[in-house]
Amino acid sequence: MELTHRPRRLRRTEAIRTLVRETLLHPGDFIQPLFVIDGTGVREPIDSMPGQFRLSIDELVKECKALTEVGVPAVNLFGYSDEKDAQGLASYRADGLIQCAIAEIKAHVPDICVQTDVALDPYTDHGHDGVLVDGEIANDESIAVLVRMAVSHAEAGVDQVAPSDMMDGRVGAIRVALDDSGFDDVGILAYSAKYASCFYGPFRGALKSAPRELENVPKDKKTYQMDPANVEEALKEIALDIQEGADIVMVKPALAYLDVITRARQAFDVPIAAYNVSGEYGMVLAAAEKSWVDKETAMFEVLTSIKRAGADMILTYFAKEAAEILG
């Protein structure tokens, strides 16, 4: 019996495979997370994240220039703070590390999109993303601090704030505060479906922001980050953030939650970001180090899967390396 359909005809050569390829990666798909520390001329390797660095502001500016040269359009900044207290008050200082970093980047690399993490874990002595009251992370008290943090970033010149704390109602409160302060052009990239995942471990090592061993303080973030078993809840969270004024919504992590990205893509007509987090990055590096996978092939397979699932943009520690190869 002669076959009518031969799908292998479209796989016969690389040129043909290129013509029919459904999902294409481009440097413009990527956002590079960057870690900022005090000092000058500092490019400190992060032990838990090989190939990534804690950068002083002058080095951060150099890195942003290099990223624009390979076509990466955006960075997302995370700051380390030695000044910690129960309320995270250092998070909104006008002369804070992130605030100064924003201003310097926009002064020297004005065309890059600067996004900033809005959460309190680098600034609290207990390592949680919000304010601790009577042994619990207090939602509304946390929002009050997060709003001040977001406005301080806007005053420094940020393009988009990225609240990652998962407090209820914080997107709406930040949107109102930004608008009332004259920053209606500053966007919100909301961590809308952020799961209580084990894949954040290397990142917490980079910022030294893991929840502390303190009396009457929860040892994890499960009371505000999402249960990994839930997807319908994720859609509710995303819908609420859109109602409150989010310009972009995010699913985090990416690889273990590709189904969530796809469900979000099917349900909502807004830009969707996905965060290829530190543990996912580390798995590829560790497997490549043991020669179990080819690093470059695995990197692109991972990134392609995230875009194929429906993400419009990908926060990834592979951003610069992937962009250089893609040209």
Domain ranges of the chain: 24-326
Closest CA to 45 of 227, 206, 250, 202: 206
Which amino acid makes up residue 307?
K
pLDDT at residue number 320: 98
Check: CB of residue 49 under 8 Å from CB of residue 317.
yes
Check: CB of residue 29 under 8 Å from CB of residue 302.
no
pLDDT at residue number 322: 98
> What is the pTM for the complete model shown?
0.94
Separation CA 327–CA 325 (nearest Å): 5
CATH superfamily, domain 24-326, is: Aldolase class I (3.20.20.70)
Residue 272 has which token pair? 């969707």
How many Cβ atoms are within 10 Å of 294's Cβ, its own excluded?
13
pLDDT at residue number 215: 62
pLDDT at residue number 87: 84
Which of the residues 62, 65, 222, 252 is marked catalytic?
Answer: 252
Separation CA 273–CA 316 (nearest Å): 11
128-147 in b/e form (b: 16+ CB < 10 A) is bbbbbeeeebebeebbebbb
Which of the residues 194, 221, 307, 320 is marked catalytic?
Answer: 194
Closest CA to 35 of 173, 155, 206, 187: 206
Cα angle 82, 88, 91; round to 5: 75
pLDDT at residue number 1: 63
pLDDT at residue number 93: 94
Cα angle 245, 248, 249; round to 5: 95
Residue 286 has which token pair? 């560790």
The question of whether 307 is a catalytic residue gets the answer no
pLDDT at residue number 210: 56
pLDDT at residue number 207: 57
Using 50 as the pLDDT threshold, list the residues of the chain that sit under it. none
The question of whether 194 is a catalytic residue gets the answer yes
Q: Judging by beta carbons within 10 Å of its beta carbon (0-12, 13-18, 19+), is residue 260 exposed, middle or buried?
A: buried
178-188 in b/e form (b: 16+ CB < 10 A) is beeeebeebbb
